Amino acid sequence: MRTVRKPLRTLAAVSVLGLVAAGCSSQGGAQDDGGAAAAGEEYTIAMVTHEAPGDTFWDKIRNGAEAAAANHNITLNYSADPDAGRQATLVQNAIDSGVDGLAVTLPTPDAIGPAAQDAVDAGIPVVAFNAGGDAYRDFGVSMYFGSNEDLAGQAVGTQLAETGSTGKTVCVIQEQGQVQLETRCAGVAKTYPDTEILYVNGRDLPSVQQTIGAKLQQDPSVTAIVALGADIALASQQSKDDVGSQAAIATFDLNQDVAQQIQSGGIAFSVDQQPFVQGYMAVTSLWLNITNGNDIGGGGPVLTGPSIVDSSNIDAILPFTENNTR
């Protein structure tokens, strides 16, 4: 499977990097030809996510979005709430304020999707990203940027088997009911059948650490932990050390601490969905749509992952984590 995984990673990276280059060259062309950017045309784009307080993952999303906004003379209005109902209200607020475009995550599509549909019906260009890759088209949204969560989960299960894990795997979900998280763990179970889901309160890391530690003490058959975020991975590592477990740790997403742990061997590997690219392309694609009528992806999702980060490539990737771009 390693030989399959690497081409998948390369294909996703090449496709997205090509789109980033296209967005940048379009900007340059507009400036050279006296287009919208050169004429000083300004646009306001709202980005509404399900970011939870203290979750550093979203720093990378925002860095990408702000870089695109700076490139294309855009005012970016960022807002977030992990509660689905309140996130939907933020979407409605963006509609009411008359934004030129909307980028939105759909972790609970049934709750947030109708608000996105309202934006589409109001004539506002809308893209979805990060969460809701299987549902965005149900609400009239034409573009999506994110990882294939099912494929990513399957890659984790396969990688765990390759690293020699033979016991039970615990897949830790920090926000019960969010579709992208549930899909990841379901994917893990497809290729590593002895997988059990453990729900934790991801907004309370001491509680996460205690819950995982209790599970490891209660069930010595657990030989691997799959975290769905960098902060959860680090809490899992502390839990493992506290109870003297030898369970391997794998995670989704990166930060500098996780990257350093991969380099030192404390964490086996990470599945990177390239959040900087998600934020950058969400804003850039809206700019292209507003100024040139472009749609990217032909109605299908534009994949930013999965990308496996392990001992074979961590040395090259680690420096980028210092800048919150990986």
At 108-157, the pLDDT tens digits run 999 999 999 999 999 999 999 999 999 999 999 999 999 999 999 999 99
CATH topology of domain 149-272: Rossmann fold (3.40.50)
Confidence band for 40, pLDDT divided at 50, 70 and 90: low
Q: Mean per-residue pLDDT for 44-56?
A: 93
At 295-316, the pLDDT tens digits run 999 989 999 989 899 999 999 9
Asked if domains 2-148+273-305 and 149-272 share a fold, the reply is: yes
CB 167 within 8 A of CB 221: yes
At 1-17, the pLDDT tens digits run 322 223 333 333 334 44
Average pLDDT score, the chain: 88
Starting at the earlier edge strand, list the strands of the sheet with 195-199. 195-199, 168-173, 222-227, 248-252, 269-272, 307-309
Instruction: Please count the CA atoms within 13 angstroms of the CA of 81 that sit on its side-chain side.
Output: 12
Longest dimension (CA), the chain: 67
Domain 2-148+273-305 in CATH 3.40.50.2300: yes
At 250-285, the pLDDT tens digits run 999 999 999 999 999 999 999 999 999 999 999 999
Confidence band for 63, pLDDT divided at 50, 70 and 90: very high
- pLDDT score of 149: 95
How is the chain split into domains, by residue range?
2-148+273-305, 149-272
**Cα→Cα distances 111→96, 97, 131, 145, Å:** 18, 21, 13, 20
DSSP bridge partners of 126: 102
- pLDDT score of 27: 35
| 38: pLDDT strictly greater than 60 | no
Q: Which two tokens stand for residue 270?
A: 């990470």
Confidence band for 323, pLDDT divided at 50, 70 and 90: confident
